Chains A and B, each alone.
Chain A
Amino acid sequence: MVENRPGLTFLAHAVLVLGVLLVAFPVYVTFIASTHTLEAIMQVPMPLTPGDRLVENYTQVLTAGSTKGSKAAAAQMLVNSTVMALVIPLGKMLISILSAFAIVYFRFPLRMFFFWMIFITLMLPVEVRIIPTFKVIADLGMLNTYAGLTVPLIASATATFLFRQFFMTVPDELAEAARVDGASPMRFFWDVLMPLSKTTMAALFVIQFIYGWNQYLWPLLITTDESMYTTVIGIKRMIVGADAANEWNLIMATAMLAMLPPALVVLLMQKWFVKGLVETEK
């Protein structure tokens, strides 16, 4: 704002502070709950200052899960989630950047048909095709495997579209200059397009990492073996029944662990992420 009006400034800050509290308070409560014994947090009102069970609770979930619900160790679940959240974005990028390259830079029969075929899959997210997909994965014996967790989620029209839009803004002369320089199409792709796409890839990675990490329905269906649970599924499996029967302190500790990696990825890649979404310099 250009004008200097203390009243407005105060109001603006008040709204922002309120917003931050609204988002941050539940996270804070989760953290507090994960540092107490179950008895302590079941009291009304529940304590709002950290307790003394931080190390014990986290060691318990990391190594042995909960005692009443799922006994899957959170350490293994974090590994599973990480594998899923890395393979999905990397696989998506690999497939999408190549298909976008083909669609933008090569003239082949039915080029637009294939583009629209890819585009139309936007209308068919996992949830819509979940039964046939499950059947296919089950028949291929991919239940309770990393492949089963990731492969059905890798195909991506969004990423293909994003790369296509980016490639179309790259001046044609660049491709022609590379041709005159003697670069083969794949060499041009590797030496020129890939470095130019770095920021787009970073933005996609962040978005897709979170997408992969937060997958719920699909891993819930195809993982029955505790060693294959992802963190999000682990939390679900720790909840066994009525409110009082659950070890909320351990569940909250797992929830904290589940929140950390995506937050870290966003924090560490923030600069690149923003660049990828707004950068126009070619």
Chain B
Amino acid sequence: MAAVSLREVRKSYTADVQVIHGVNMEIKDGEFIVILGPSGCGKSTLLRMVAGLETITAGEIAIGGRVVNRLEPKDRDIAMVFQNYALYPHMSVYDNMAYGLRIRGLSREEIDTRVQKAAAILELKDFLDRKPRALSGGQRQRVAMGRAIVREPQVFLFDEPLSNLDAKLRVQMRGELQSLHRRLGTTSLFVTHDQVEAMTLAQRMIVMNAGRAEQIGAPLEVYAKPATTFVAGFIGSPPMNLIPREGKLLGIRPEHLEPCSETEAMLTIEVDLIEPLGADTLVYGHEGRTGESARIAARLPGAVEAKAGKLSLRYRKEDVHWYDPASGKRIEA
């Protein structure tokens, strides 16, 4: 296990196409870090740079205090789980897991011990002789993880490993990943575009946008205090409302809005869309009559009977966030 440091890491393909604009982060030993962002934000590229599958244009990546910029992936002591699993189709589950160890020249007994142990952890004991094509998606996923576990690396790298699974399996594997990390305590980097995965798995997360780390922090901290309008608009479903007020942007989460009488109203919206979800009801509308003003969403308790038309809302002052419209940065009150 090891700490990972990213120092001013940059990546450009040609002189004017830069995809990573200087990311800085210190990842502590044993930490589970999620890199979150929309597609094309450079999150996979960043992970692949840590893995050694992409070159580093500028800056430094260190694993366990050792700068690895010029090292081959095999010499970085990492293991990677790919989005499409990348299992060797002609090898059995056992051989898939053992392949890397054989190349490393481990003894037959040592390989067998490690593979059996990983198979036990991942409940793959009954499938060791099967070929990947005879496995279900979830089982393939577990083999891919097994291949990473047997290596006993310093760092696990996950590149959207759950996105090819169906919704139910994804939730289950999320739980298994968490317990696996508790058990092994290996430093992990996990790339995803799914904020629920990020919120539930991460000890800390990096929210990336267009090659920049917009915010780094614990999930609840990021949720409670988004550093930029991008983070505010990316995290939360529906995301934070951003309403222009006095030359600044007022940010308020949908669940912090509550219906009230007209006299108490701090915000009045014209409701045009209602989504009852059972536990609560989402209402959407515009402030005022013009269609041009900001669109606002509110999460009301399920018991509230919502109807189209005017809706008066209020919020508590301490739930409000302020942003600078030009830079998108948070203004601390």
Which residues of A are interface residues toward B (Cβ below 8 A)?
Answer: 171, 173-174, 176-183, 187, 191-192, 195-196, 281-282
Contacts and interface: CB of A to CB of B under 8 A. Distances in A.
Interface in B81-131: 82-84, 86-90, 99-100, 103-104
Interface of B: 51-53, 72-74, 78-80, 82-84, 86-90, 99-100, 103-104, 133, 147
Given A173-B84, A281-B89, A181 B99 contact: yes
Nearest to A179: B73
B82 A173 contact: yes
Given A177-B86, A179-B72, A191-B88, 17 more contacts: A171-B86, A173-B82, A173-B86, A176-B53, A176-B73, A177-B80, A178-B88, A179-B73, A180-B51, A180-B52, A180-B74, A180-B79, A180-B80, A181-B99, A182-B104, A195-B90, A282-B89
A205 B147 CA distance: 35
Nearest to B157: A180
Contacts of A176: 53, 73, 80, 82, 86
A178 B99 CA distance: 9
A47 B51 CA distance: 77
Closest 10 CB pairs of A and B: A182-B74, A181-B100, A173-B86, A177-B86, A195-B90, A173-B82, A182-B103, A180-B73, A180-B80, A179-B73
A124 B131 CA distance: 43
A187 B147 CA distance: 18
A219 B52 CA distance: 53
Contacts, number: 58
Given A171-B86, A174-B86, A281-B89, A180 B103 contact: no
B131 to A, nearest CB: 10
Given A174-B88, A180-B78, A182-B104, A191 B99 contact: yes
Contacts of B87: 177
Say what secondary structure dominates the interface of chain A. helix
A192 B52 CA distance: 21
Nearest to B72: A179
A171 B99 CA distance: 18
A179 B74 contact: yes
Nearest to A187: B103
Given A187-B103, A191-B99, A181 B84 contact: no
Nearest to B153: A180
Nearest to B74: A182
22 contacts: A171-B84, A171-B86, A173-B83, A176-B73, A176-B82, A177-B80, A177-B87, A178-B99, A179-B52, A179-B74, A180-B74, A180-B79, A181-B103, A181-B147, A182-B73, A183-B103, A191-B88, A192-B90, A195-B90, A196-B90, A281-B133, A282-B89
B257 to A, nearest CB: 45
Contacts of B52: 179-180
Nearest to B83: A173
A181 B74 contact: yes
Nearest to B95: A191
A278 B90 CA distance: 17
A171 B84 CA distance: 9
Contacts of A183: 99, 103
A74 B177 CA distance: 69
B65 to A, nearest CB: 21
Contacts of B53: 176, 179-180
